[in-house]
Structure 1
Amino acid sequence: MRSGDDLLLRAIASELPDDDQTADRILSAAYQQAEDFGLRRFTMDDVARRVGLSRVTIYRYFPKKDQLMNALLMRELRRFLTRADAVIDAQPTPEAKLVEGLLFCLGFLRGHRLLTRLLRTEPELILPHLTTRAGAVVTAARSWIARHVRAEVAAGRLALPDQDIDMLCELLVRTVISLVITPETVLPVDSPDGQRRLVELYLRPLVASLRPPA
């Protein structure tokens, strides 16, 4: 199994069970605390006060701050992947899957309140994980996109050599990361009309060129 696949499986499986309402309340409080005050000033005591539970209860679920933060990040990753998969799976053609999937990813990540807060106020904490130390993130995202592309190839809707799939997917990943960490751009990615124009100019022709011969 590739390391990217392993990270994605952890994102899906590592969170505590969905029916554990206490764990979910703790994670929700942790998210709100991080969103309001960032990670540098984030403490377990703050989370306990916000959720209205004792420190003992918090530590029973998450013995260390790092474990709480990891569970929080994994929950956000799982939420993102679940929604993105639903958007992609609902599209009828490879062109639509690429277009709607990419637009969803850009909109979700550029509008993610915690991520944008950290990029604005604590870039030294988050930027290394999206730049010089982004290997795991790039690998996981590339593997996730490649799974969708390989499904289209297997169904005969795309013709792309297997050795080229990962390269295409990594180009998409690095494009999205760049537009997230550097939001200022002449590309109209935050305008619905502008997004559609970009799609018609660049994305649809790309996918059309990968269609198998009629």
Structure 2
Amino acid sequence: MRRHGWSGDIPADDDEAARRIIAAARQAIDARGTVSVSEVAQTLGVTRQTIYRYFPTQESLMAATALSAVDGFLDRLAAQLGSITDPSDAVVEGIAYTVEQLPHDRYLGLVLQPGKASAFTAGVTSDLAIEFGKSIVQRFDIDWAAAGFDGHKLDELVEFMLRTLQSFIVDPGGPSRRDAGLRTFLRDWIAPAIAAQARASSQPAK
């Protein structure tokens, strides 16, 4: 870590430096809804090159900042899911609730909205997008390994959910794809796929 700048208050290590950068970016986003690398650098008393050392692009800075601030959404998601323990029901409700909350949560929008600096900017299977997807499934009150989703299969489930989310974000559809209609659609088409995978994974190898 470079040993100058930071308005004389040098971070103890790279992790602390990254946390300070994200905190400064989040403060600006809370105030105005956006932030620039130059603004963060000025706030922290460092050069733009220092910021880019930790976050190579404006998009990566925005996405990391958004991911650090979605705890409120994840807490609401956990409350919404309640005691759901069936993997199919949990995936349906997780996708539906995320789609519904997107217009109302600034940071969730920064994570997911295509065309902005978001986890999806680099692709639905980017590291940031996968990290967000895993943070969703981790809030489900489900023993994923016991349900047949362990290791690679859980990663594939996260990818499947993200690709489904992306499709609804890019093209929400008409009134029939909202509220109860959205859940009916997901139960008819998504839930069977989850249930089939769970059954296949539980079958003993021949």
Normalised by the length of structure 2, the TM-score is 0.56
Structure 1: unaligned runs, 5 residues or longer: 1-9, 16-22, 45-54
- What is the CA distance between 1:140 and its match in structure 2? 0.4
Counterpart of 2:89 in structure 1 is 96
Counterpart of 1:131 in structure 2 is 121
Counterpart of 1:18 in structure 2 is none
The 8 Å contact of residues 142 and 173 in structure 1, kept in 2 or not, is answered as: yes
SS of 1:130's equivalent in the other structure is: coil
CA distance in 2, matches of 1:144, 1:132: 18
Counterpart of 1:168 in structure 2 is 157
Counterpart of 1:78 in structure 2 is 71
Q: Which has the higher contact order (CA 8 A, sep 6+)?
A: 1
SS of 2:72's equivalent in the other structure is: helix
CA distance in 1, matches of 2:195, 2:63: 40
The alpha-carbon distance between structure 1 residues 147 and 43, as it changes in their structure 2 partners (threshold 3 A), is: closer
Structure 2: unaligned runs, 5 residues or longer: 1-14, 55-60
CA distance in 1, matches of 2:171, 2:113: 10
Normalised by the length of structure 1, the TM-score is 0.54
The 8 Å contact of residues 113 and 120 in structure 2, kept in 1 or not, is answered as: no
The 8 Å contact of residues 87 and 194 in structure 2, kept in 1 or not, is answered as: yes
Q: Deviations over 1:150-175 (max 9, x none)?
A: 95234x4x234643221122011122
The 8 Å contact of residues 88 and 195 in structure 2, kept in 1 or not, is answered as: yes
RMSD: 4.5
- What is the CA distance between 1:111 and its match in structure 2? 3.8
Q: Percent same amino acid at aligned positions? A: 18
More helix by share: 1
Q: Would you identify which runs of 4 or more consecutive aligned residues in structure 1 move more than 6 Å?
A: 64-71
